Amino acid sequence: MTTKTCNINENKSHCTCTFSCGKKGVCCECLDYHRSRGELPGCYFPKDAERTGDRSIANFIAVVKQQGSSFLK
């Protein structure tokens, strides 16, 4: 059995979230936290929307309707 380890520092280098949080770089915990609240992690939002802190799925859909989804690439 292979044990997969998490590279927190590498994850942090890709993280676009501007909020201070103990889950930064621990993507599984970040995703679990926001999913449990009916939200998406900060990395699903473009810079301007990420800064608002509104991680709701409704906000994500509104942003994609307005800006398209190319910011995710």
Binding-site ranges for ligand SF4 (CB under 6 A): 17, 19, 21, 23-24, 30, 33-34, 41-42
As a whole number of angstroms, the distance between CA 58 and CA 5 comes to: 33
| Residue with Cβ nearer ligand SF4 (19 or 61) | 19
| Residue with Cβ nearer ligand SF4 (6 or 21) | 21
Decide: 35 and 56 in contact? Cβ < 8 Å.
Answer: no
| Residue with Cβ nearer ligand SF4 (2 or 37) | 37
